[in-house]
Amino acid sequence: DTSDGDPMDTHGHGTHSAGTIAATANNRQGIAGIAGVAFGREKIMALKVLCSGGQGSFSDTIQAINYAVAMGATLTSNSYGGGFPFRAREAAIRKAEEAN
């Protein structure tokens, strides 16, 4: 769930990052992602945690990480900014690492 209710990536950062990670090698597009090479059957699960203004909450990020793990994700990209570590979010990331 996003705070503004819009599931679309309004900034493009998450979509761009996921595409870079999962890009297929030798596709004549000038890019080869690491997941496409490593796994060969990449799937992307888009989970939006920030609103169109770029704001969100720690609880939204924790909920998304936990959901991804519960759905079988083996890799998460968490490239949102933040000024300081948050113990509960760090615990969710550790739990995700341990699940794999």
In a domain, 79, yes or no: yes
Q: From CA 76, how far away is CA 96, in angstroms rounded?
A: 9
- Position 18 scores a pLDDT of 82
Q: Which of 25, 26, 17 is nearest to 44 (CA)?
A: 17
In sequence order, the 6+-apart residues with CB closer than 8 A to the CB of 28 are none
| 32-87 pLDDT per residue, tens | 777 655 555 667 888 888 887 778 888 888 899 999 999 988 888 887 766 667 78
Residue 4 has a pLDDT of 64
For the entire predicted model, the pTM comes to: 0.72
- Cβ neighbours around 48 below 10 Å, total: 19
CB 95 within 8 A of CB 66: yes
In a domain, 47, yes or no: yes
- Residue 82 has a pLDDT of 65
- Quote the tokens at residue 17: 């990052």
pLDDT tens-digit readout, 73-99: 888 888 776 666 778 888 888 888 888
Contact in structure between 89 and 58 (CB atoms under 8 Å): yes
Asked if the structure places residue 4 within a domain, the reply is: no
Domain that holds residue 44: 13-99
Domain count, the chain: 1
pLDDT for the residue numbered 27: 74
Answer whether residue 13 shows pLDDT above 90.
Answer: no
